[in-house]
Amino acid sequence: MKKVKSDLHLHSVLSPCGDLLITPGEIVKKAKEKNIEVLALTDHNSAENAEVFEYYCSENDILFIPAMEVETKEEIHILCYFSDLNTLKKWQSIVYEHLPGKDNDEDFFGPQIKCDFADEYKEKITQMLAGAVNLSLEETTKKVSELGGIAVPSHLDRKNSIISQLGFIPPDLDFKTVEISKNISLENALKKYPQLNNYQIIKNSDSHYLKDIKAYHYLYLDGLNFFEFKKALKMVDGRKIILI
């Protein structure tokens, strides 16, 4: 089994309220410096920078996990991971059908920027990507799983989490892995939320700034591919995630 550093929750210039320097190419460069071998770009309700991000990952021998952080109707953030870019694009069209349908208020939120393969700004996405989409938590997890993907609830100790919004983790949704933020220790998280003892816990950087990119966990995998990654999230065949 191989032990690799990974960061599975990151935002680029496509996510409003981030730094304007956090482009796909710069993210990969920073991750490479930190010996990170598996990366997922999880912009809010969108994957417009995923293709360019995949290109930079493959140039740098990093395993690219197609992903998105979606905000459900209940204002819960969910990380969604998929096997390939086309499936992520299918998921993006479903999410886009359920966006609030407003224009982005650039002065308030900041611009939402799509980059090109030279890592330069290509265009601004004018439709507001931040905020809740009109899909329930249940609909979201069901559709992600129908596409062969896997869902992980984000930052359970913070706002916009399954715990802040519902007060508990619905057992029928069958999550195996849940995320805590980098601001809380595992010990304190388990003390504060004893229900987390039933889950594998993951921590990520949730970076909106290049300087914040860092690995907070190791993945134990037998080869670098999505199916091994999925096994680690599901804790199958000895694949697992251990916090650093």
Question: Residue 5: which of 239, 160, 204 has the closest Cα?
Answer: 204
Q: Could you tell me the smallest distance in angstroms from the CB atom of residue 204 to Zn ion?
A: 8
Q: Which stretch binds Zn ion (CB under 5 A): 56-64, 104-112, 120-128, 200-208?
A: 200-208
Pick the closer one to Zn ion by CB: 15 or 104. 15
> Which residues does residue 114 pair with via DSSP β-bridges, in sequence order?
123
Residue nearest to Zn ion (CB): 77
User: Exactly one of 72, 154, 204, 207 binds Zn ion (CB under 5 A); which one?
Assistant: 154
Joined tokens for residue 70? 């979606």
CA nearest neighbour of 150 among 211, 19, 239: 239
d(CA 127, CA 95): 12
Q: Which of 26, 37, 206, 228 binds Zn ion (CB under 5 A)?
A: 206
Nearer to Zn ion, 77 or 231 (CB): 77
Interacting residue with Zn ion among 5, 30, 77, 114 (CB under 5 A): 77
CB of 78 to Zn ion, least distance (A): 9
Cα-based distances in Å from 161 to 73, 144, 156 = 12, 18, 5
- Indicate whether 37 belongs to the interface with Zn ion (CB under 5 A): no
Whole-angstrom Cα distance, residue 182 to residue 75?
20
Binding site for Zn ion (CB under 5 A): 69, 77, 154, 206
